[in-house]
Amino acid sequence: MPSVRNGLYDPAEHRELAGASWSDEAAQAGTLTLAAAAGSEAKPPALVVRLESSYIPAGDGSQVAPAAEGFVVSRELLKVRGDKLPPEQLPLATPGVTARFTVGDVVEEHVRVVNPKDRHFIAVVVPLAAGMEPLNPNLATAPPEARAKGVLSRKPTYAAYLDDEVTYYYDTLPTGTFDFYFRTRATTPGSFLQPAARAEAMYDAAVRGNSAGARVEVAGAAAAPAAQEP
């Protein structure tokens, strides 16, 4: 059948199928006409076109805008300041926000997902900036600060704590608003992209949603003052 390249029909190609033909007379790029062949009483067959596209976004991941196509996803970072002080809230509501930390800082991630209808086989994916390390509270060797203050709204079917992201999987996610909490630690100085968090139906790519992208800057820990000679 005629090919589609870069989103345009190539009029140089002409094929016949089941007594019908694609006419390329005076055709222009982007125009495809299906007509019965001359002298044929056959009706034109159904036409099925499969298009595939790929692209590179003009902006980097920190410039990703929030999107809601089945889920509404928001994200904030909570900089832990000890047990007696409330955390410092850093909302990531708009693209391009920069969050600044120092090596050793502990940060509590808070992601909220609004699901307007009962759904099955859902993944909530929270990618991390390269300078941040996830703290898995389920490990026997986890430090006390690995346990988040916030509480998950619904226990996942399975949770994966990887080097670059934390993911919650659900066989069933009912209608409602769900909060997710876990902690990370700033470990590497530098400036890093903070990819958007997202919720998605694992077997239906059209059902998804994501938060805004951001950037994370991690400063080196302050050097201890040199000892002075008496």
Secondary structure string (H, E, C) spanning the chain: CCCEECCEECCCCCCEECCEEEECCCCCCCCCEEEECCCCCCCCCCCCCCCCCCCCCCCCHHHCCCEEEECEEEEEEEECCCCCCCCEEEECCCCCEEEEEECCCEEEEEEEEEECCCEEEEEEEEECCCCEEEECCCCCCCCHHHCCCCCCCCCCCEEEECCCEEEEEEEEECCEEEEEEEEEEECCCEEEEECCCEEEECCEEEEEEECCCEEEEEECCCCCCCCCCC
Identify whether 228 is part of a domain. no
User: Tokens 């998804």 — which residue?
Assistant: 208
Q: Tell me, yes or no, whether 35 and 108 share the same domain.
A: no
Least confident of 29-33, 114-118, 121-125: 29-33
Same domain membership, residue 8 and residue 94: no
| Same domain, yes or no: 109 and 129 | yes
Q: Is residue 121 part of a domain?
A: yes
pLDDT band at residue 60 using 50, 70 and 90 as cut-offs? confident
What pLDDT, on the 0 to 100 scale, is given for residue 46?
66
Domain limits for position 192: 61-219
**Does 25 have pLDDT greater than 80?**
no
> Does residue 118 form part of some domain?
yes
Question: Which of the four pLDDT bands, split at 50, 70 and 90, describes residue 230?
Answer: low
β partners of residue 113: 73, 178
Q: At 201, which CATH number?
A: 2.60.40.690
Instruction: Tell me the percentage of the chain whose pLDDT exceeds 90.
Output: 67
pLDDT surpassing 90 at residue 48 = no
Q: Same structural domain for residues 130 and 38?
A: no
Q: Percentage of the chain with pLDDT > 70? A: 74
pTM here? 0.74
Number of compact structural domains in the chain: 2
* Cα 159 to Cα 153: distance, rounded to the nearest angstrom: 14
Higher model confidence: residue 61 or residue 225? 61
Q: Are residues 70 and 158 in the same domain?
A: yes
Torsion of CA 8, 69, 194, 169, to 10 degrees: -120
